[in-house]
Amino acid sequence: MRCVPDLGLLRTTTFRVALLYLGLFIASVLVILGLIYWFTAGFIERQTDETIAAEIAGLREHYRQRRLPGLIEVVNARSATPRSNTLYLVASPTYAPLAGNLSAWPDAVPDQDGWVEFEIKDAPPAPEGRRHDARAVMFTLSGGYHLLVGRDTRERSHFQERVLISLAWALLLTIGLGAAGGVLISRNVMHRIDAINRTTRQIMSGALQERMAVQGSGDELDQLAGNLNAMLDQIEKLMVGMRQVSDSVAHDLRTPLTRLRSRLEMTLVECSGEDEYRAAIQEAIGEADRLLGIFSALLSIAEAEAGTLQRSFQKVALADIARQIADLYEPAAEEAGLAFVSDIRAEPVVLGNQQLLAQAVANLLDNALKYSPPGGRVTLAVEGPDGARGTCISVSDGGPGIPADQRETVLRRFVRLESSRSSPGNGLGLSLVDAVARLHGARLEMDDNRPGLIVAIVFPRIDAG
């Protein structure tokens, strides 16, 4: 079976990023290798030039002390040294060779400092076709005689070629290892991304219980998988909540709708006078009002959870809201045989929607009046930033309270601790209060009142001014 290359990998962002990194790495390696070669070649050239300069200084001293015969003697002695890379040539004013290991004066023009590079004509052929070059200094002695001192650069050139070949192999090895590493890294990342894509396709197909695999390395892909899993958990929680809301809506609306239909049907069958029809219509209107109340509460919760009302936030005085609500509920509390206490300890100001905050406090007072026994007490309190909880508005009662393990449960829509659901209510009051609190960045706290319950909306601090 023929192996087909994975061309899809070449089109991935991961591979392109790895390729870009490889390009940058190769560029940096080229710079480093270039510097290595430049420093190495420069060092060898400087060493060659220093050797030539030292030879010239010694020969000049011999010429100064012993003149031409002494110089010729020294040059012939040094030229006879076997395997010497140093080149010598003493020539007459007409450039005829007098001493040294070169047979003729080189046909080359020196630079302004006297340095010249030339090919050695009388040297044996260099292996592999390489030129047999030399670098030397030419200058004229007193009397018109000429002196050349240089070095055979064949070994230097050979060393530089070896360095270049080594650097080229190092570059090729770097490219190969970098490309292989890029492919391996891309495959590893793509393997994890493909796993995420497979899981998302399964979830899209209906397997909502599936979750992204987390390797535990804590890298960015693990963080992405964790965030996706948290999002899926939240979506699943919302969908379960929607199903529960649908079931609760069907349950809570079926009873009043059935009661409304039965009363209207009985009215058609049994009522014979105008007064009876009027009473039946009034009862039907009452049932319709209760249904409208359920839908109004649901719409208020949805509006609060959407967060669109935050654009209309303004500074609201909690104490003013408490005074207005207290004026409305104090007569109802007295009628129910309850003591109503308004405890306004400060005048805090928060950013919010006054209508929603008033509705939330009214819902808390409705629950407090409903569940407090006759002779009990209901307290509406407002505290400032220096209070025990900070800026908050709270309602406390002397009723049965809510067990600590069920305080999160009662915040869901249509949840009522009363399993018989015989008392008035629809289980939306605390859900609305919680939604309003979250809309305002506040938190809803429930504590024991011993007996009874304290429910507080605690607001975040805001800057003054």
Query: What mean pLDDT do residues 168-189 have?
Result: 77
**Amino acid identity at 206:** G
Q: Is the four-CA dihedral 277, 281, 282, 284 of positive or negative sign? A: positive
Q: Which pLDDT score is estimated for 1?
A: 42
What fold is seen in the domain 13-159?
Beta-Lactamase (3.30.450)
Over the stretch 237-291, which tens digit does the pLDDT of each residue have?
A: 767 666 665 555 555 566 667 777 777 777 777 766 777 777 778 877 877 776 7
* pLDDT number for residue 118: 82
Q: Which of 257-261, 384-388, 411-415, 428-432 has the highest mean pLDDT?
A: 384-388
Where does the pLDDT of residue 5 fall: very low under 50, low under 70, confident under 90, or very high at 90 and above? very low
Instruction: Answer whether 86's CB lies under 8 Å from 74's CB.
Output: no
Whole-Å CA distances, 65 to 51, 58, 69, 77: 22, 11, 10, 17
Domain with CATH 3.30.450 in the chain: 13-159
Could you tell me what percent of the chain has a pLDDT over 90? 3
Which amino acid belongs to residue 289? D
The two three-digit tokens of residue 439, written as one number: 């809309």
**What is the Cα–Cα distance from 405 to 393, expressed in whole angstroms?**
23
CB-based contacts of 150: which residues, under 8 Å, 6+ apart?
52, 86, 87, 116, 134, 135, 136, 137
Return the CATH class of domain 216-306: mainly alpha
- Closest-CA residue to 452 (of 411, 399, 412): 399
For the chain, give the number of residues: 465
User: Contact, 101 vs 82, CB < 8 A?
Assistant: no
Q: Which residues contact 192 (CB under 8 A, 6 or more apart)?
A: 213, 215, 221
**What pLDDT does residue 243 have?**
67
- pLDDT over 60 at 402, yes or no: yes
Per the listing, tokens 């006759």 go with 374
Beta strands in 320-391 (DSSP E): 339-344, 349-352, 377-383
β-bridge partners, 119: 133
Q: How many helices (H) and strands (E) does the chain have?
A: 8, 12
Q: Can you tell me the distance from the alpha carbon of 414 to that of 429, in angstroms, rounded to the nearest whole number?
A: 9
Mean pLDDT confidence for 320-336: 89
Residue 128 has pLDDT above 60, yes or no: no
Burial class (CB in 10 A: 0-12, 13-18, 19+), 120: buried
CA distance 216 to 239: 28
Question: How buried is 351 (Cβ within 10 angstroms: 0-12 exposed, 13-18 middle, 19+ buried)?
Answer: middle
* Predicted model pTM: 0.46
Residue ranges, comma separated, of all CATH 1.10.287 domains in the chain are 216-306
Using DSSP, state whether 160 is helix, strand or coil. Answer: helix
**Taking residues 292-302, what's their average pLDDT?**
65
C-alpha span between 58 and 253 (Å, rounded): 118
Structure tokens at 146: 């000429």
Cα 81 vs. chain centroid, distance in angstroms?
72
Q: Is the peptide bond before 424 cis (omega within 30 degrees of 0)?
A: no
- Residues 6 or more apart in contact with residue 196 via CB below 8 angstroms: 212, 221, 224, 225, 228
Least confident interval from 129-133, 283-287, 440-444: 129-133
CA distance linking residue 339 with residue 333, whole number of Å: 7
Are 410 and 402 contacting, i.e. CB atoms less than 8 angstroms apart?
Answer: yes
pLDDT-derived band at 422, boundaries 50, 70, 90: very low
Every domain range in the chain assigned CATH 3.30.565.10: 311-458
pLDDT value of position 310: 64
Can you read off the two tokens belonging to residue 299? Answer: 């719409």
Q: Under CATH, what is the fold of the domain 311-458?
A: Heat Shock Protein 90 (3.30.565)
How far, in Å, CA of 436 to CA of 393, rounded? Answer: 13
Report the pLDDT value the prediction gives residue 145, as an integer from 0 to 100.
85
